[in-house]
Amino acid sequence: MVKTRSLLFSALSLVSLAAAPLYSEQAATLSPLTLLEQTSQAFTSIAEQAMPATVYIKSEIQQQQQEGLSFDPFQDDFFRHFFGGGGPFPFHQQQPQQNPPQPQLAGGSGFLITADGYLVTNNHVIKDATHITVILNDGREYEATVKGSDPRTDLAVLKIEDKNLPFLTFGDSDQLKIGELAIAIGNPFGIGATLTMGVISAKGRQDLGIAAYEDFIQTDAAINPGNSGGPLLNIRGEVIGVNTAIYTRSGGYMGIGLSIPSQMAQNVIDQILDHGTVQRGYLGIRLQPVDKDLAEALGLESQEGALVSDVLKDSAASKAGLQAGDVVLQCNGKTVKNVSKLRNDIGMMSPGQEIALVIMRDGEKVTLKATLSALDGAEIASAETLQKLGIEIEDLSVEQAERVGYNGVLITQVKNGSSAAAAGLRKGLIITGVAVKGNQQKSVKNVSELEDALKGVAGNKYLILIIRQQNFQRYYTLKLQ
């Protein structure tokens, strides 16, 4: 028992030193009890600073007139995968439609970033809301207006009218290290402001299908339904992330929380505050990962980098001289770890910005400079549709087209739990068309034609893909919303 207590005090002493380094010189002369008290005071100080600036958000959503039960997205298999059957909001439940339909309430968290009432939350907390109420920790209530939102990162900026409000400042998420202490504050289940503590479990979580641009911080600080939009803090009380999702099978905390890093969040917030919208840089290339065999075949030192599979006509990439078959190794001096990271980095840049790319071409490194163009709405719609479907695609090669006797788009990957997987799509199937309206079909012979077709159906609830197998063709219905 004595040994166990000694180990406990030693472990807590290390936590205290990590949390309050200014005490490190005195640590040798302080008792374990004093170290525990100092640790407790550090967290109390953060709570006193952060809780008044963390808010509860109620969103009123007017339901559409329809028969039967209202559609609850959190009963959908995809959302259940990340949020569990109960949904992230305590009031977001499936209820019988009234005549006329009754407003539906959704709840989440947010935090103030200025003394005059600007605050940040997740886009999904306020999406489609007709009325938004912000409730401070001291009980004050305000009507809020949406100043701007960005579904592609799941962020939104709201405004309430008041002065001298408590607010939080941002830290640098790029400097985070795995194992650092992390503190989450939010309003789980609508019960009131709550503080939980854990560590940074991982960085750079991508390809989860939660948002179009993903670079999540993973933490084991307890995050539960209703925490969406609340701050993730470092030990100095600075915001290092915006809590967005939990990975759960039960609907509650299971040790995996996901937060948008502060560097990504600040970029989006600044653009919304300055322009009201978010503009993203666009290079105009299609990329695929570098696997082990490809790295060996191209003589690369590692599997890092991104292979350019196609360069779009008249794009920034085309004007810079990029070619299909190039492997992008560096962007602005930073190593390209994978396709998602390069896509995120370019998407966080502004149109008109010049970037320097180091590529591998024919066994030699070449440096190219490109001036980014703007990602337009049609390209965004197409990219988001593919993201929602959960498939990766590429053009049929000449040899493949000759073998099957027709052109189309080859499905190279289907993500588990995606809409495509639920519809029965699988790797190796060939898309030859899209049903755009009723019996009207639009044939697709390559990726460009498929993307053009998807631009026209991005706002629909369902998408019908036409798949051809030998002499047969079949319709596959996929849920988009």
Q: Which two tokens stand for residue 246?
A: 């939990």
Active-site pick, 16, 59, 201, 228: 228
User: CB atoms < 10 A from the CB of 436, how many?
Assistant: 16
**Confidence band of 166 (pLDDT split at 50, 70, 90):** very high
pLDDT at residue 474 greater than cutoff 70? yes
Helix (H) or strand (E) holding 423: helix 419-423
Q: Measuring CA to CA, how many Å separate 28 from each of 24, 33, 34, 202? A: 8, 13, 11, 32
In CATH, the number for domain 281-374 is 2.30.42.10
In CATH, the number for domain 51-278 is 2.40.10.120
CA pair distance 229, 196, nearest whole angstrom:
15
Closest C-alpha among 116, 188, 110, 187 to residue 156: 110
Instruction: Give the model confidence (pLDDT) of 366-384 as tens digits.
Output: 999 999 988 765 555 555 6
Fold of 377-479: Pdz3 Domain (2.30.42)
Q: Which two tokens stand for residue 198?
A: 């854990």
For position 146, what pLDDT does the model report?
Answer: 92
**Confidence band of 338 (pLDDT split at 50, 70, 90):** confident
Q: Where in the chain is the domain with CATH 2.30.42.10?
A: 281-374, 377-479
Mean pLDDT of the region 78-107:
50
Instruction: Give the model confidence (pLDDT) of 172-185 as tens digits.
Output: 998 999 999 999 99
- Residue 154 among the catalytic residues: yes
Mean pLDDT of the region 124-128:
87
- Residue 124 among the catalytic residues: yes
Active-site pick, 13, 109, 154, 345: 154
Mean pLDDT of the region 290-314:
82
**Do residues 55 and 135 make contact, with C-beta atoms less than 8 angstroms apart?**
yes
Instruction: Give the model confidence (pLDDT) of 67-77 as tens digits.
Output: 333 334 334 44
Q: Where in the chain is the domain with CATH 2.40.10.120?
A: 51-278
- Phi, psi of 88, deg, nearest 5: -75, -10
CA pair distance 454, 465, nearest whole angstrom:
10
Closest C-alpha among 47, 446, 417, 372 to residue 247: 417
Mean pLDDT of the region 21-33:
62
CA pair distance 461, 454, nearest whole angstrom:
12
Active-site pick, 13, 124, 215, 345: 124
pLDDT at residue 144 greater than cutoff 80? yes
For position 399, what pLDDT does the model report?
Answer: 75
Whether the full predicted model's pTM is greater than 0.75, yes or no, is: no
